[in-house]
Copies of this chain bind each other. A is one copy, B any other.
Amino acid sequence: MLLIHLFIYLGIIAAGVSGALVGIKKELDLFGVVCLCIATSLGGGIVRDILIGNLPPAAFVDAKYFFVSLTSGLFTWIFYQKIKRMNHLVISDAIGLGVFTAVGSNTAMSLFSDNYFLILSMGLITGIGGGVLRDIFSKEIPYVFKKEVYAIASIVGALSFILIHGTVSNTFAMYVCLLVTFLIRIIAVIYKINFPIYREKTDLPSNL
């Protein structure tokens, strides 16, 4: 088994935990928590497979990803009090973003190798799609639209995959994509780098 598979499972688990945490906070029942967990883990890949016509999506053809995600959801339910306090979730989440971006870019590259725009889009959608689904199911504006350098890390990662692809092996290109995405995301977290939000200038005097 390649190292990349370990990272894929880690990404699925990190995403599943984030989905389950939101589900518990929103007072969903156990079924709802598990659904949110699975949607967050596998949703990005499912949306990508729908868009590129790879049907049924990989997540339905091979159940092993489903069971990994399901297990992470049940663990989050059982050990909620401990898991919700874990600060290093941000690290596995960043690995997840990186590995999903790498897998998405690679899948699109294997089918449509000459369309860089499509490859970039599929890297991004695989990277952030699960989180967007999680937020829509839990009646929130997608977090990725509101805060933090999250999507940009995925975009730059997918770009790096496209740039070095062809000169190195596929697997190596995926590792580079993972690393670039991970580093940008972690740097953004450490230095609290956010994207601008439009602030309306008010003409009212602030005082008197």
- Taking Cβ atoms with an 8 Å cutoff, the residues of A that contact B are 23-24, 26-33, 35-36, 46, 50-53, 55-57, 60-61, 63, 66, 77, 80-81, 112, 115, 117-118, 121, 132, 136-142, 144-147, 151-152, 194-198, 200
Contacts and interface: CB of A to CB of B under 8 A. Distances in A.
Q: Nearest 6 CB-CB pairs, A to B?
A: A32-B145, A53-B55, A29-B195, A63-B117, A24-B198, A28-B145
Contacts of A36: 145
B51 A56 contact: yes
B28 A197 contact: yes
25 contacts: A24-B198, A28-B141, A29-B146, A29-B196, A30-B196, A30-B197, A31-B151, A31-B152, A32-B141, A32-B144, A32-B146, A35-B151, A50-B50, A53-B55, A53-B56, A56-B112, A56-B118, A60-B121, A61-B118, A77-B198, A81-B200, A137-B142, A138-B141, A139-B140, A139-B141
Nearest to A36: B145
Given A55-B51, A56-B112, A30 B137 contact: no
Contacts of A30: 195-198
Given A145-B28, A152-B31, A198 B80 contact: yes
A117 B194 CA distance: 41
A56 to B, nearest CB: 5
A58 to B, nearest CB: 11
A32 B128 CA distance: 12
Q: Specify how many copies of this chain sit in the oligomer.
A: 3
Nearest to A148: B29
A27 B141 CA distance: 10
A167 to B, nearest CB: 24
A136 to B, nearest CB: 6
A68 to B, nearest CB: 13
Nearest to A132: B137
Contacts of A31: 144-145, 151-152, 195
